[in-house]
Chains A and B, each alone.
Chain A
Amino acid sequence: MTTTPTTAAAASTSTGAAAAVAPATPGPRHVLGLATPHLRTPAEVDHAAARVAQVAGFPVGALVASTLVPGPPQHLGLVVLTAEPLPEQVAAAVAAAAGATGPGEEVARRAAAGDADRVARYPGLDVLLGVLPVAEVLRSGAVEALVGLGGLVVPDDAELDTRDHVRPRLAGGRMVLDVQPSRGGRWVPFEPPVQHACCSNH
């Protein structure tokens, strides 16, 4: 499999949010889509993304994301977005680390257009920890917009309880985080750190 160069700059600039500063690292411009039919849950994607990020030569500043791929089997296809094309041996090691069975064209196509359902690894992931003012989250550049669930508007002076688990989506090249209201007027990411299994695992 090869990396796919694209002219669509994914997550490179933050045109919409005036307060936001451009990310510290240049936006990824190349996508490597992988067929990962074994990935079914967000937790499995996070594990795969962590393995991918440990591949020797994996570039700092790359994004690892997933997108729902219609089946069968319906699964979460992994995609890697990088500023420069990955050297062939690194790409091969990434694919192996992800357990990929081949290229993932659908997820690559969507990522090339600047869209991915869920970004599991990205620059700034390690600073989005604890409780942060929303303004600070935006200033970090790791997330460019917060969108309230059900049409709710997130006030500028709100606080985000990251729960140490922030997984934005890539929408039109922007890192967008869906959030919901939480206790004490704080907001939390829509995605919980742990999914409630509740009697479904027997």
Chain B
Amino acid sequence: MEGGILGEAVDLSVPDAELSPGALSRRGVLRGAGLLGAGLSAFGAAAGASPAAAAGAPAGDRRGTRYQWLAGDHHIHTQYSPDGMYRVSDQVRAAGQYGLDWMVITDHGGETHSRIGVEKTNPDVREARQDNPDMLVFQGLEWNIPAAEHGTVFVAPGPHEVSVLQQFEQGYDGVVQRASADEALAVAGLTFLARQVSDGRTPDALMLANHPARNGIDSPHEIRGWRDAPGRIAIGMEGAPGHQAAGIPTDSLGPGSARGYYGNSPRADSFAGYPLESYRTWGGFDWMTSTVGGLWDSLLAEGLPWWVTANSDSHSNYGDWSVNPTGNDRNATGPDGRVFEVDGLYSDPVYGGQIQTGRGDFWPGYYSRTHVGVARGGYRQVMSAMRDGRVWVDHGGLVDGVDVRVRALSATSRESTLGGSLRVRQGDDVEVSITVALASGPNYATFRPELARVDLVLGQVTGAVTDRDVFTTPSTRVVESFDTTGVRARGGTATFTHTVRDVGGPFYVRFRGTDGKRSQVGIYGASIDPQGPALDVEGDADPWEDLWFYTNPVFVVPEGRTRGSR
């Protein structure tokens, strides 16, 4: 390995997006080994990780650094899924219409898909890229994680995108491998992907856990295991699942099911420690994310990166007019002679003669958005920014934008934003600010949402856990709530600031905001979360009347003097 390239890889003043592919992959490997700051290295060092980490930790951005926020969705199905129906081009066109900039095609892993589906999807994806130059169309798959739920896996475009995905699916998909209980195979799959990156077979690969709490089968130790697998391929989870239309009441001509299709109860392979509350959505979000002091916070309290997203999981959409001509019969012959089990895809959708009100999904971009902050657009830049955690999510176009900045009052020339890690001195006062830009126009339900409140959540970073199945952290709570009802009158944009005085130990902050229409005391009580999201009512969950945004965290890491020196 040439010293020069290694130098570039370890010099974190050079952003990922500007690295050569080789240097980028080396940096990924170094990060995966815990040798480089993926946001948090300074604390990692304090907690006993490699001392090399502290030297490489980033100091934050130059003040005023601006990012372009690209909206996207990493969980979208097509006619290449046994329970799907749309053409790739249908989904790409819709995503463009509903304002997305990037999207990932994630058809279900399985025997047929791994054998021919992946390969056959690729020309459709490439054609969609050509036809929609403003849309980044990634190819991926929805991985049946061995011994767990589903997860998005995707790669950056490249000459080997099909073979990397196909080899991965054939070797490591839980259904293909009939490995319903093999937790190690999941980690082996992530390790395989990391090797594809480090060997230069693909510029980048990412994995995110989908609908993680739906069936209670993503145990905390499995999630930690994916996170800690080599190469930091696994970067996070769906903070909010798709299927957000599923809870629209039948009175309103909706499917009348559970929001997100989160209506199940524990089964034999569920993690026994999860409470019943975990099987439901809360304000449309997965319990792991919606619970202040819950599973997500317990991961962040380790001082390690783990990010949340929001997606459509579009299979068949609420209010659409088209149907799968075979009724999703995998062995039936469609109008053009296609048989799913034989050809790897269904015949194209056909006009169904009536509006489809029994479906639980929205088109990509219509309701759920994952916003990724990039210096400039591009496939690798989006993936790199996702790995960096420069991500926030919203439902129903609740706000146009959020801009989170964290800086030490003694050194205001540097600051960090979402996913970042700000190094400060012990005893510093740290200013946390959020600028919200209210929705300037109507959403896709043709009304303009009004943001009522923004909550700041703060948690101490307490370091590595001894029990890998822990899913609570006692120090995280809502420390301040900002009333945003007056922001409209003030021009639609406002900045709210919270100052953390006399910083003694590492901590993180994250924000969430709401239209204020539904709330409930958090699961761990009013002292932790006085106005958390409410339990979604089965069969009566109008998604447009309960809107939230969540940001990913910013870490603050004091260094320098020892704790006793002040």
Chain A residues near B (Cβ < 8 Å) = 39-42, 68, 70-76, 117, 149-152, 178, 180-184, 188, 190-192, 195-196, 198-200, 202
Contacts and interface: CB of A to CB of B under 8 A. Distances in A.
Q: Which of B257, B523, B540 has the most CB of A within 10 A?
A: B540
Interface in B210-232: 215
A118 to B, nearest CB: 8
A72 B257 CA distance: 34
Given A190-B276, A199-B108, A202-B175, A74 B537 contact: no
A151 B526 CA distance: 12
Contacts of A76: 267-268
B535 A180 contact: yes
Given A149-B535, A180-B538, A183-B539, A195 B268 contact: no
17 contacts: A40-B267, A40-B269, A41-B268, A73-B268, A117-B266, A150-B277, A150-B523, A178-B276, A180-B280, A181-B535, A181-B537, A182-B540, A196-B263, A199-B82, A199-B83, A202-B110, A202-B175
Contacts of B539: 182-183
B261 interface: yes
B521 interface: yes
Contact of B265 (A39, A75, A192, A198): A192
B499 interface: no
Given A149-B277, A180-B538, A182-B538, A202 B268 contact: no
Given A71-B181, A182-B540, A196-B257, 4 more contacts: A190-B265, A190-B276, A196-B264, A202-B175
A195 B537 CA distance: 17
Contacts of B268: 39-41, 68, 73-76
Interface string B255-274: 01110010111111110100
Contacts of B267: 40-42, 76, 195
A42 B215 CA distance: 13
A199 B266 contact: no
A191 B520 contact: no
A40 B181 CA distance: 13
Contacts of B257: 196
B492 interface: no
A178 B264 CA distance: 13
Interface residues of B, number: 40
Nearest to B111: A202
Nearest to A68: B272
B552 interface: no
A178 B330 CA distance: 38
B265 to A, nearest CB: 4
A183 B249 contact: yes
A8 to B, nearest CB: 22
B407 interface: no
Interface in B321-346: 330
A149 B275 CA distance: 10
Interface of B, secondary structure class, is loop
Given A149-B535, A152-B535, A202-B110, A70 B82 contact: no
Contact of A183 (B81, B535, B540): B540
Contact of A73 (B181, B256, B276, B523): B181
Nearest to B264: A195
A178 B277 CA distance: 10
Nearest to A192: B263
B263 A199 contact: no
Contacts of A184: 540
Contacts of A183: 249, 251, 256, 537-540
B231 to A, nearest CB: 28
Contacts of B538: 180-183, 188
Given A183-B540, A188-B538, A199-B83, A149 B276 contact: yes
A74 to B, nearest CB: 5
A48 to B, nearest CB: 13
Nearest to A199: B83
A197 to B, nearest CB: 9
Contact of B264 (A70, A71, A192): A192
A111 to B, nearest CB: 16
B79 to A, nearest CB: 14
B174 to A, nearest CB: 10
A187 B175 CA distance: 37
Contacts of B150: 199-200
A188 B279 CA distance: 15
B315 interface: yes
Nearest to A195: B264
Contacts of A192: 258, 263-265
Given A73-B181, A182-B539, A199-B108, A191 B272 contact: no
A161 B132 CA distance: 49
Given A152-B535, A195-B267, A202 B272 contact: no
B523 A151 contact: yes
Nearest to A198: B261
A44 B68 CA distance: 51
A183 B83 CA distance: 28
A192 B279 CA distance: 12
A182 B538 CA distance: 5
Contacts of B261: 196, 198
Nearest to A184: B540
A183 B256 CA distance: 9
A76 B110 CA distance: 27
B553 to A, nearest CB: 24
Nearest to B175: A202
A178 B258 CA distance: 17
Contacts of B537: 180-183
Interface in B416-464: none
Contact of A68 (B82, B215, B266, B523): B266
Interface in B518-551: 520-521, 523, 535, 537-540
A73 B268 CA distance: 9
A51 to B, nearest CB: 18
A182 B267 CA distance: 22
B82 A202 contact: yes
Contact of B520 (A40, A150, A199, A200): A150
A90 B75 CA distance: 52
Interface string B277-288: 101101000000
A191 B280 contact: no
Q: Which of B256, B264, B282 has the most CB of A within 10 A?
A: B264
A75 B181 CA distance: 12
Contacts of B82: 199, 202
